[in-house]
Structure 1
């Protein structure tokens, strides 16, 4: 079993399950403290409109917006224990783009994650959305 702990999160990947880290997630994550829920972040500009760009550009801007939402709550990527990712017309090429961004944001301490392939998202032109559950450290 692989267990890594720091002051914010404990990440667990049991040896009895496959190694999920190449796919951009961990099997379990936990932390003591207050839960903070971050609503869906997408490639939005300052007005909420979908910013122009291809899938890769939308994923990158969505992660920027997720970081800004976390910072607004006084948190960072290191506090995230769960992600929900939503990809329009999901395929392996899109999974590779997502994985690159996940590793850039989280390094080798990947939170638990569920990825859902969807037919459409809330606004025309949206190709990707991500939400998060973070933990504000106790104390």
Structure 2
């Protein structure tokens, strides 16, 4: 199976960090790298957890659009939360419900001690399927 790498405009340049944003396969699956609340330089753009969740999903939307897809095409999420607790789970649940309603994609949530950059509290990666 061949694939194509996309680093869309509107997201920071990930190459200095050692990854790409989107991998489109010749088949039906599209893989989106971990998205977080990043500014144009790849640094964390906001300190608050809820704001980071919203910004990460906005970046996920941008990455999917580069592959001609939308959030409704996502079939799997992997979320990573620094110092995970029930309050943060509620914030994430509310965000997911606002996007997918009563049909969210499958998800694995991992509580972690830290993520790639200082101040990063949330990251989400996804697998989407072409219709």
Q: TM-score range by the shorter chain?
A: 0.7 to 0.9
Q: Show the 5 A alignment for 1:1-139.
A: 34-137=28-131
RMSD, aligned α-carbons: 0.9
Q: Which runs of 5+ in 2 are unaligned?
A: 1-26
Q: In structure 2, how many angstroms separate the alpha carbons of the residues matched to 1:97 and 1:36?
A: 26
CA distance in 1, matches of 2:86, 2:97: 16
Q: Give a deviation string over 1:87-133, Cα, whole Å, max 9, x none.
A: 00000000000001101111111100000000000011100000000
Q: Work out which of the two has the higher radius of gyration on C-alpha atoms and give 1 or 2.
A: 1
**What is the aligned residue count?**
105
TM-score by length of 1: 0.73
Structure number with greater CO (CA < 8 Å, separation at least 6) is: 1
Following TM superposition, the consecutive aligned residue runs of length 4 or more in structure 1 with deviations greater than 6 angstroms are: none
Judge conservation of contact 2:47–2:119 (CA < 8 Å) in 1.
no
Give the structure-2-normalised TM-score: 0.78
Structure 1 regions of 5+ residues with no counterpart? 1-32
